[in-house]
Amino acid sequence: MTLSMSTVVRYSALSVLSVVAVAGCQQKMADQPAHRPYEESAMFANKQSVRPLEPGVIHRNQKLSDDVMMTWLTPAGKSIKADEEWLKSVDPTGKTAPPPGAPTSNDNFVKEFPFALNEDDFKRGQVLYNANCALCHGGAGHANGKIPERGFLRPPSYHLDVKGEAKDWSTLTINKETGKPEPSYTGNPQGVSRGFYRYGKVQPLKDVNIGYIFQVITWGYGGMGSHETQIPDVADRWRVVGYVRALQLSQAANAADLPDELKRSLDQPKSIAHAPGEKH
């Protein structure tokens, strides 16, 4: 079928008009009368479109500070008293006091979970840990996740070195003589809290009260940002804490404390995989 020139011109004109009409509609839809956040407004005396919140307003799922699920600090942790030796070395003038939640003492943090954890809670904690934590901290908490493996900031290990020789390190520096990367040590033994160490306390992470682990997940610390958004359910954060504590126990478990079934499995010979061509 052959179209006449006049028909082609007519269709072309209609197409152009359609495009112009759509563009016009889009422009009107994009130019909404509603104010954008913090945009100036002539409606109010202070010329601000954003209205101040009324005292006591909370968002829909926000937990109150006195809710047991959000109580990870003890009374001592909410009202920190600075250690005299710390003040002498850090702030001799005494003008700076550690803020609430500062890890100046393990007693600043609660020792008990706000609810009893069952097997499902630990499994949920494992899922969340693997999704949000293992990339840095490693599957078993040895600080060997894929992110530090690629040269980024290394978190502390959850576990002490059995021999007491390994040191904590967070970054790699290039040795000027060899040209190869080497760990830059923090001064801590492996498995010791960097937060407590900042206040002059050598506190193994395996022994920190669980409230401190919850605080680090909620607030973040050092190179680790807050995970309050990634894990918005407060109960889920406690479940992750439970799983972290389970990892710590698993890597330092005494065989004598294991159930009989697991003891028997330890005594069974393990099959070892051999590479092709390797002698057995």
Q: Which domains does the chain have, with CATH numbers?
A: 68-98+106-141+192-253 (1.10.760.10)
Residue 25 or 104, more confident: 104
Provide the pLDDT for residue 43: 84
Residues 247-259 have a mean pLDDT of: 84
Say how many Å lie between the first and final Cα of the chain, rounded.
80
Q: Tell me which residue has tokens 């479940």.
A: 239
pLDDT tens, position by position, 115-167: 999 999 999 999 999 999 999 999 999 999 999 988 889 999 999 998 888 99
Mean pLDDT of the chain: 83
Q: 144 vs 95, which has greater pLDDT? A: 144
Q: Is it the case that residue 186 has pLDDT exceeding 90? A: no
- 3-state SS of 154-177 is CCCCCCCCCCCCCEEEEEEEECCC
d(CA 156, CA 189) in angstroms, rounded, equals 10
> Is pLDDT larger for residue 25 or for residue 84?
84
In the predicted structure, residue 279 carries a pLDDT above the cut 70: no
As a whole number, mean pLDDT of residues 169-184 equals 86
For the stretch 214-220, contacts whose Cβ atoms lie closer than 8 Å and that sit 24 or more positions apart, written own/partner, are 214/72, 214/238, 214/241, 215/72, 215/73, 215/101, 215/109, 217/241, 218/72, 219/101
| Residue 278, pLDDT above cutoff 50 | no
Does residue 25 carry a pLDDT above 60? no
207 or 29: which leads in pLDDT: 207
| Per-range mean pLDDT, top range of 5-14, 47-56, 125-134 | 125-134
Q: Give the integer Cα–Cα distance in Å for 266 and 261.
A: 9
